[in-house]
Chain A
Amino acid sequence: MSEVTRRPATGPAAASPGEVPTIWTTGWTDIFNTGTWRAATPIHEWRSSPCHTDCPIGNTIPGWIANIREGAYQEAWLALVETNPFPAVTGRVCHHPCEGHCNREVIETVVGINGLEHFLGDRALEEGWALPAPVGSQGKRVAVVGGGPAGLSCAYHLRRLGYDVTVFEARDELGGLLRYGIPEYRLAAGVVDAEIARLLDLGIEVRLGAPVADAAELEALEAEYDAVFLGVGAQQAKMLAHLEDGAGAGRVLDGLEYLRRCTEGVARDLGERMTVIGGGSAAMDVARSARRLGHTVSVVALESRATMPAQPEEIEQALEEGVALFDGAMVAAVEAGADGGLMLNCVKVTLDLGAPAGELRPVPVEGGEFALAADVIVTAIGQDPDLAAFGDGLAVERALLLTEPTTLATSRAGVFAGGDVASVDRFVSEAIGAGRRAAYSIAEYLNHPDACIPERPKLEDSVNRTEVNPFYFETTERRERVVAPAAERLTGFDETISAYSTEDATAEAGRCMSCGFCVQCDNCFVFCPDMAVQKDASAAGAESAAPSASEGAPATAPPAGVRVTAAVPCVGAPPDSGPFYFVLDQYCKGCGLCVTECPRGAVRLEQVNL
């Protein structure tokens, strides 16, 4: 906006000195202080969106989605890898809790965040984009034990913070369950390889086939390195003893073992009929892998279909692929079958709602007995960490390494842990997020000058559905990724889901309302009847920040200051394209129009304390 200035006229209408002329104006109202009328003050701030809050990694989702919208894909990806070094992986396998409370639901349905992440992840691999180089060197060394997502995420962030990192991996290859657990048709090995290779390009030392096997070796690491991160995962499958007795002996396999054999191509000669026990992702992976290898597969799960931990689409696809599901049921006993196979005596169950959290207590339903014939049983009912090797030196609780929730510090100073080894939230994104948080925590422990630990915002503080203004968004159908038809899927282990096309990604990104994340739409500025919302001069470029008052009038109030909520206000914080708007105290009457008309809850009204 350009200022209009005038020459004052002189003539007989001018009053005598010291007197206000009674006719013809001499100046403008911007000398008045209408801000004193205010009972509440609008504050522009970067507020957490529910998707950001729900993302275990802390991805600044609305930020990079905005970049996608603008077609700035590399920028988007760079914003994403600020938190998550594995977007191609999570874009495929993340359980995407970020979509759980997405505010877009007020318009029609949640945004396909996971699909967008997938799109960016693949685009980066196609383009061969490199991760940002480390900033300086802290001259300190950190040992990371375990080369799964938790360990690699931790290594990545530590490296970027300027630490020398060595990863110790027991196996011959990095990746943990990404490589040995999740089947190829969901996550191709090539994707895992490529994202890991790119990460290692930052200059991370790797020791393969190098298990940290006992307490002594851990102590040696502690001595040699300034800090240690344990991301060894949960490798010990839980077993069901009552199935392995008698007829079942030798015919019960654990799911991890089965999947590992699949990846190695040696899973076939187990007999025709397979029963998988379990209701989670692992059970689905076993069942669907087995279908691809020609087995007839039934799944027996304690939970009802609706409450099974597996993702609904996984169950859906398993059924499409011909898996028979017996939900709300359990295998009570195993007998030898007439055909040389096994006869599984099953019963329908309900779950005791009074059971302690995390524990399943099945109650058989009377008359719910049925039988299944099988040649092999695969159990996929979870794993526990193998903590015995580390001896008594580390505190353990409920079969997990005990860590302090914020710092992820174990009971031993300088030793941190995260991922499956320390958490019941067994998800790739949880592991990556834990690795990230641990890296900042380690940095803080090592007195990094700017690092602090990213807080996880709370849902109640995040922008909620009443704070977005639906007027500004048009109903637009959600784009879905294309899933190959079941028949095609069953022909092998090729990936079954294709990433968004650029067009789909752009359209889907267009659906994101950018909750709490100012996109400089100018609404707050446009709708202020008092012209009290101003744009920051430096951000806005040439224009001046405050209106220059009329001659002789006091200068307008300085910018009230931009407050940014502490989502991650430290190294590793999202690039703060942030609000460059501010409110002029002198004029704002506190009506709240800017707050209401901000489409995305990026302005908040705070009561003035009088």
Chain B
Amino acid sequence: MHTYELDEQKVFNSGHNACPGCGEALAVRYVLNTMGPNTIGVIPPSCIAIISGPQPYSSMRIPVYQTTLEASAASAAGISRALKRQGKHDVNVLALAGDGGTYDIGFQALSGAAERNEDMVYVCLDNEGYMNTGAQKSSSTPYLAVTSSTPGGKPSDKKDIAEIMAAHRIPYVATATVGYPDDLARKVAKARDMKGMRFIVVLTPCLDGWGVADDGAVRVSRLAVDTGFFPLYEVEDGERYTINHGPKGIPVERYLEQQKRYRHLDEDQVKEIQAGVDHRWSLLQARVESMAGQARIR
């Protein structure tokens, strides 16, 4: 029997205005409560910016600065550098950005911060679209998913941000999701206790944007993992790969059928998506194998 043991600090507050059952709010709960109160946050425009509270109230018992959509990593870098100058080496800096603010418009700042190995934990709350502005596509939106800007289904693939970040050879990259809260919390804790640039992409189902039932965030995110659509893994220093949870032999259709954004798919399209999932999974496994046992070259 499975039980979760999360060592939570009470940083994220009730009374926030996330939608009922919001996967992102759940992710933020685990992230903030694991990071702990000795943390300063940065948030760009996104759903989480709304969830963080209307002035003069905050849902987060840590100082948070709301920056612009493209600047999260740079803003976080400013804080972490200032903290070092103040001798506050133990204060964590946390960026909490959406996929739009990470994969797209904020990517340059992110890549720059990664290259400089800025000292921060950057968490991308990946709900696979610009949800705050009405569920338009982002470069994280998966192939064929319907969004308000791709009403016929997105014609291109989801960008593989974890691999891109791993290629920056930063100390830590991980994928996580709310369906595996212990895995998520462990990764956040691990990232927190490291130095330099740490990046975690958290798949956070958007109930409205994906067309998922109010009680479905956990189930759906779990299916994303269990079908191999979104494997959970970590990469240290860009080369040491560890797969935490991979596909469990469940067809991807089980995942797709939970979501209205895939309702239009025909049989062939489902097969195509399945083939893509299988292919990416084999690539990931190949990468794990090819990287296994390699010494770190700096």
Contact = CB atoms under 8 A, between A and B. Distances in A.
Interface string B41-54: 00000000000010
B interface SS class: loop
Nearest to B62: A4
B249 interface: no
A589 B1 CA distance: 28
B146 to A, nearest CB: 23
Given A522-B3, A592-B21, A25 B61 contact: no
A24 B56 CA distance: 7
B244 interface: no
A474 B218 CA distance: 18
A28 B55 contact: no
B16 A34 contact: yes
Contacts of A21: 55-56
A599 interface: yes
A422 B221 CA distance: 55
Interface in B135-185: 181
A341 B11 CA distance: 89
A288 B133 CA distance: 77
B37 interface: yes
Contacts of B5: 522
B2 A473 contact: yes
A21 B53 CA distance: 14
A interface SS class: loop
Contacts of B13: 28-30, 531, 547
A362 B56 CA distance: 83
Nearest to A15: B56
A501 interface: no
A329 B102 CA distance: 77
| B contact residues, range | 35 or more
Max chain B Cβ within 10 angstroms of own Cβ: one of A1, A522, A526, A597: A526
Interface string B205-237: 000000000111111001000000000000000
B215 A471 contact: no
A532 interface: yes
A4 B56 CA distance: 17
A591 B22 CA distance: 9
B9 A1 contact: yes
B33 interface: yes
B4 A589 contact: no
Max chain A Cβ within 10 angstroms of own Cβ: one of B4, B16, B20, B22: B20
A597 B219 CA distance: 8
A530 B217 contact: no
Given A20-B55, A25-B55, A34-B15, A529 B21 contact: yes
A556 B214 CA distance: 24
Contacts of B16: 29, 32, 34, 530
B8 interface: yes
Contacts of B86: none
A366 interface: no
Interface in A543-578: 547, 556
B58 interface: yes
Contacts of B190: none
Contacts of B57: 25-29, 31-32
Contact of B59 (A4, A28, A510): A28
B15 A33 contact: yes
Contacts of B294: none
5 contacts: A4-B10, A4-B11, A29-B15, A510-B1, A522-B3
8 closest Cβ contacts across the A-B interface? A591-B21, A592-B215, A32-B15, A589-B20, A29-B15, A529-B25, A591-B20, A1-B10
Interface of A: 1-6, 20-34, 37-38, 471-474, 510, 513-514, 519, 521-523, 526-527, 529-532, 547, 556, 584, 586-587, 589-593, 595-597, 599
